[in-house]
Chains A and B, each alone.
Chain A
Amino acid sequence: DQQVKQNSPSLSVQEGRISILNCDYTNSMFDYFLWYKKYPAEGPTFLISISSIKDKNEDGRFTVFLNKSAKHLSLHIVPSQPGDSAVYFCAAIRNAGGTSYGKLTFGQGTILTVHP
C-alpha cells in the first residue's frame, strides 16, 4: 500500500522557470511532511518541511504548499537552476504531541532536470 505517491517520475524544466513537484498521500494521520533532495551517489538531504497546521512554508527559492483536504502537497522551485537537477522525494509522518509515531514514509521520487 503506497501511502505516499509521486506520480510523475520525471520533470524537465528550463533554467529560470518554475519547477512544480507534486505529492499525494492517503493516510489522514500524517501531519508533518518533508521534501528531500538526492544527488547520485549521495544520501538524501533535507530541503524543506511543513506541519499540517500550515498551508505554506517558504525558504528562499523553495516553497511547499499543503492542501489537507485534497491530501496533496507540492514543492515549488523558482527560479530553477541547473544545480537543482536531482531526485526529489516527499515524505510524511505522524508527528503529533511532540513525539514522532512510526516511520517516515517516502514517495517514489521525481527526477528533476533543469536545462541551461
Chain B
Amino acid sequence: GAGVSQSPSNKVTEKGKDVELRCDPISGHTALYWYRQRLGQGLEFLIYFQGNSAPDKSGLPSDRFSAERTGESVSTLTIQRTQQEDSAVYLCASSFSVLSGANVLTFGAGSRLTVL
C-alpha cells in the first residue's frame, strides 16, 4: 500500500493476556521503527530494524516485549502478560536507509492498546 498500515487499530485486553500488533511498512523501506505514546507522554522508542542488521532493542521496557521482522516487510510487536502500564498507542514507522528531504520517516496511525 501507499502508507504504513497497522493492525488492529484498537485492542482491549485483560491484564495477563498476550497481544500481538502488526505493522506493514511502505514497500522498499529498509528501516522500521516501533514507538509508543502513553497518555500525556512523548514518543518513546521501543525497537528499530535496519535491513539485515541486528535490531536495536535498547528501548524495549521489559522482557515481556519482543518484536520480529520478516526481511524488509511485515513486523509484529508482541507483549506477553500485559500489564495496565502497557496501555498506550503503539506507533510503527518506516523509512529508506537514508533520510533526506524526499525520504523521511512515515508513521502509521497506530494501534491503541488498553489493558483492563
**With A93-B99, A99-B97, A100-B31 known to touch, is A43 a contact of B91 (CB < 8 Å)?**
yes
Assess whether A102 is in contact with B48, with CB atoms less than 8 Å apart.
yes
Contact residues of A between 37 and 58, Cβ < 8 Å to B: 41-46, 49
Interface size on A, residues (CB 8 A): 26
How far, in whole Å, are A90 and B72 apart by their CA atoms in the complex?
Answer: 26
Tell me the total A-B contact number using a CB cutoff of 8 A: 66
Size bracket, chain B contacts: 20 to 34
Assess whether A104 is in contact with B33, with CB atoms less than 8 Å apart.
yes
List the one stretch of B11-19, B79-87, B102-110 in contact with chain A.
Answer: B102-110
Assess whether B104 is in contact with A106, with CB atoms less than 8 Å apart.
no
Contact residues of A between 2 and 44, Cβ < 8 Å to B: 6, 32, 34, 36, 41-44
Assess whether B42 is in contact with A103, with CB atoms less than 8 Å apart.
no
How far, in whole Å, are A98 and B99 apart by their CA atoms in the complex?
Answer: 8
Assess whether B97 is in contact with A100, with CB atoms less than 8 Å apart.
yes
B43 at the interface (CB under 8 A from A): yes
What is the interface of chain B mostly: helix, strand, loop, or mixed?
Answer: loop
Contact of A46 among B43, B45, B106, B110 (CB under 8 A): B106
Nearest residue (CB) in B for A5 is B42
Assess whether B42 is in contact with A89, with CB atoms less than 8 Å apart.
yes
Residues of B within 8 A of A102 (CB): 48, 56
How far, in whole Å, are A11 and B45 apart by their CA atoms in the complex?
Answer: 24
**With A43-B108, A43-B109 known to touch, is A109 a contact of B97 (CB < 8 Å)?**
no
Assess whether A103 is in contact with B48, with CB atoms less than 8 Å apart.
yes
How many Å from the CB of B39 to the closest CB on chain A?
11
B77 at the interface (CB under 8 A from A): no
Residues of A within 8 A of B91 (CB): 43-44
Interface mask (B46-80 → A, CB under 8 Å = 1, otherwise 0)? 00101000001001000000000000000000000
Nearest residue (CB) in B for A95 is B99
Residues of B within 8 A of A106 (CB): 35, 42-43, 45
Assess whether A49 is in contact with B45, with CB atoms less than 8 Å apart.
no
Residues of B within 8 A of A (CB): 4, 31, 33, 35, 41-43, 45, 48, 50, 56, 59, 91, 93, 95, 97-101, 104-110
